[in-house]
Amino acid sequence: MISVIGLLLNISRVTLIIYCFTYSITICIIDTAFNTKKGDLIKNYVIEKYNVEYVMICETFTEIGNVFGYTLMLIAGLVGSILSFKILLLLVTLCVPIFTKLLIDIDK
């Protein structure tokens, strides 16, 4: 969240590179934790016979989210306004805590 505030105030190539680097590392860590918990869920709820379907549904929604995100980036690029790009960065960054909260709620 701190990096988004920095980007909202001052956006340059260096701050954008730093943001992308830290965001990529954070998403990789969260995604690894999610995949680990996904395997635990399959074992805990004895749905191993539906393993392929469960993984396919998870991957489908992940890819839908990716397409939606790239579409928003395309729209922000076509608009050409730095304000629309900043709003997009803010929305993407707000999704990380939501995803983390959902990941934590899986255990419950």
What pLDDT, on the 0 to 100 scale, is given for residue 33? 79
Helix (H, G, I), strand (E, B) or coil at 47: coil
Kindly list the domain boundaries of the chain, sorted by start residue. Answer: 2-105
What pLDDT, on the 0 to 100 scale, is given for residue 3? 59
Round to whole Å and give the CA distance between 35 and 87: 29
Burial of 107 by CB count in 10 Å (0-12 exposed, 13-18 middle, 19+ buried)?
Answer: exposed
Q: At CA 62, angle to CA 101 and CA 80, rounded to 5?
A: 95
What pLDDT, on the 0 to 100 scale, is given for residue 20? 74
DSSP character at residue 107: T
pLDDT tens digits in sequence order for the chain, 108 residues long: 555 566 666 667 777 777 778 777 877 887 787 777 777 777 777 777 777 777 788 788 878 887 887 787 778 778 877 777 778 777 877 877 887 787 777 666
pTM of the complete model:
0.56
